[in-house]
Copies of this chain bind each other. A is one copy, B any other.
């Protein structure tokens, strides 16, 4: 499968994607993924796809990949379609739907993080969306790998903690569970939302904050959230071990039950 060279998703990053887990014979949290894709379309000024078209294409790709009985990562890409002159979009737009499915990565142990020099752009709506313009995330991840870590910890342009290259961040400050606010230039993660919900159900006090990296000094139970792994604990940041928190295991289990 391929995409024409004049597709704006290819040429300019003008489009969105979702990565949806296929597990136990279903598309996990399909409705919130589709809702986020639709909100993203609104933010970017793109028509939204039709729910049934996306679901059908996703199922067809899982089947074609021979993964119906396994765990698959389904990537749904929705581009602004072909055409336009330079940056200007054509009128009318003919968006393009492209779906692929691949074996989902196996579960992994705790992650190590490295703080990346590449910053999040909190001054663009794209920083809160899964867009095809994901190069800053690639560069941050590359920095992390170069320093021997698994994943990047990204700050935004104001120097506040934002997220990982492919995950949201959570940690405990004493009894409170905290996560960077969306205004920090943070993807509105599906598992982020499920984690906030699960934490509230566990009776935890949860708070969305804006904080500089010094907040990590008093953080406990730091973890990553993403659709393919649920909540993944972090072992160390820039080589400094993360202290555990007594509530983390319970939260990881509750989130896993909802999202894996």
Contact = CB atoms under 8 A, between A and B. Distances in A.
A11 B77 contact: yes
A85 B166 CA distance: 12
Q: Copies per complex?
A: 2
Interface stretch (A126-134, A174-182, A204-212, A242-250): A126-134
A4 B5 contact: no
Contact of A124 (B45, B88, B122, B139): B139
A220 interface: no
A145 B12 contact: no
A232 to B, nearest CB: 13
Q: Of residues A9, A155, A156, A165, which shows the largest number of chain B Cβ atoms within 10 Å of its Cβ?
A: A9
B126 A124 contact: no
A12 B132 contact: yes
Place the interface of chain A in its size category.
35 or more
Contacts of A80: 138
Nearest to A145: B88
Given A3-B2, A3-B5, A10-B10, A86 B166 contact: yes
Majority secondary structure of chain A interface residues (helix, strand, loop or mixed): mixed
A141 interface: yes
B133 A124 contact: no
A88 B141 contact: yes
A254 interface: no
Contacts of A14: 134-135, 138
A7 B77 CA distance: 13
Contacts of A155: 123
B136 A124 contact: yes
A36 interface: no
Interface in A92-142: 98, 100, 105, 118-126, 131-139, 141-142
A181 to B, nearest CB: 16
A6 interface: yes
Contact of A2 (B4, B88, B156, B158): B4
A142 B89 contact: yes
Q: Of residues A86, A98, A132, which shows the largest number of chain B Cβ atoms within 10 Å of its Cβ?
A: A86
18 contacts: A2-B4, A3-B5, A5-B100, A10-B77, A11-B17, A12-B138, A14-B138, A44-B139, A45-B142, A80-B138, A86-B105, A87-B138, A88-B141, A119-B121, A121-B124, A125-B139, A132-B133, A133-B135
